[in-house]
Amino acid sequence: MAFLIIGGGVGSLALRRSTRSGEVWQIDPAKCTQCGKCATSCVLAPSAVKCVHSFKICGYCKLCFGYFESESIPENLTGTSAEYQRCPTNAISRRFIEGPYYEYKINQQKCVGCGLCVRGCTAYGNGSFQLQISHDLCKNCNQCNIARVCPSQAISRVSAATPYLIKGRQS
């Protein structure tokens, strides 16, 4: 029992030390290839990686290539066209605004960080969806499992003062 208490204390000290360094893990949206490893390689289940929506660059399109109604595509079919690059957990919802315009929102509890919607939005749309590491969920491990397996080296340490890298904005 004492070993567990000491082990827990050492673990919490390591976490505090890593956040005291003033750096946190984050995904560079310019390097991210939406490979899906963020969803499967994080030490947390579901992953601390979540899709976020950059409203500044969104076109609010009626046909969003990161979002498709789940009932419009049979679940047993797969492919590489735009309609198959949709959220498998239905974490994206939309609300009609006016004319042909819709507002898209991501339910962070449903999002698993797979990147399918980001891939669809980037390949066929304007790229307003992106993946980010949610710092309220991330354990800030000294060696991020996702960073180790990321094929494009898109995950690195960034300053905790500016912890989110946003598409279209220089950091």
| Residue whose pair of structure tokens reads 């009609």 in the numeric block | 96
Residue 171 within a domain: no
Residue 26 within a domain: yes
Domain of 144 in residue numbering reads as 2-159
Residue 16 within a domain: yes
Residue 167 within a domain: no
pLDDT digits (tens, 9 = 90+) for 155-171: 999 999 999 988 866 44
Residue 170 within a domain: no
State pTM to two decimals.
0.77
Total structural domains within the chain: 1
Residue 169 within a domain: no
Residue 149 within a domain: yes
Residue 165 within a domain: no
- C-alpha span between 31 and 61 (Å, rounded): 25
- Within the chain, residue ranges assigned H as helices are 2-20, 37-41, 116-124, 145-149
Structure tokens at 72: 């419009």
pLDDT digits (tens, 9 = 90+) for 65-111: 777 765 555 555 566 655 566 788 889 988 898 888 888 899 999 99
